[in-house]
Amino acid sequence: MDEQSFSLGDVKDYLLQKGINPSYQRLKILEYLMNSTSHPTVDTMYRTLSKAIPTLSKTTIYNTLDLFMKKELITGLTIEENEVRYDANLSQHAHFKCLKCGRVFDIPGDFFPQIGNTVCEHIVKEKHFYMKGICKYCASRSA
């Protein structure tokens, strides 16, 4: 997904194209992900979305994210063993996690290793490339 703003109408059309019933919760969860570059966790999504949708549960979020991953609308990122983050940007890109502030940044595809759709005759379905270090924002505060 490009860095643009997606409306509920855009999200509804996208869900319908993918054969998914666009319930209000699904619309809001996908809208949040499509308009976010923060790679949120379920807890982050719950804290944010439950303000507008008081009946929203973490179970609904987990089930919705599972459906979206099965339909290949989003991807889950496991950079740390104890946390999964979610990303609606399906373009080829890498991720950088700051060890100080914990933010996760998209790294453009130019920096992504050039791996094709097959490797040693294996069919590649997913590509993940993660880096960890100190982000430019934390580094500038330390200088």
3-state helix/strand/coil string of 72-96: CCCEEEEEECCEEEEECCCCCCEEE
Give the pLDDT score at 66: 97
Compute the radius of gyration of the chain from its Cα atoms. 16
Give the pLDDT score at 3: 52
Residues 59 and 106 in one domain: no
Q: For residue 87, give both structure tokens.
A: 């990303």
Residues 104 and 138 in one domain: yes
**Structural domain includes residue 2:** no
Give the pLDDT score at 113: 63
- What tens-digit pLDDT sequence spans the chain (143 residues)? 445 688 889 999 999 999 999 999 999 999 999 999 899 999 999 999 999 999 999 999 999 999 999 999 999 999 888 899 999 998 888 899 999 999 999 988 776 667 778 888 898 887 778 899 999 999 998 76
Residues 80 and 99 in one domain: no
Separation of alpha carbons 42 and 58, rounded Å: 7
Residues 103 and 56 in one domain: no
Q: For residue 126, give both structure tokens.
A: 């997913």
Give the pLDDT score at 133: 94
Length of the chain: 143
| Residues 77 and 33: beta-carbon distance below 8 Å | no
Range of the domain at 55: 8-84
Q: Which residue has the tokens 């998914």?
A: 20
- In sequence order, the 6+-apart residues with CB closer than 8 A to the CB of 105 are 37, 95, 96, 97, 98, 135
Give the pLDDT score at 118: 84
Q: For residue 22, give both structure tokens.
A: 């666009």
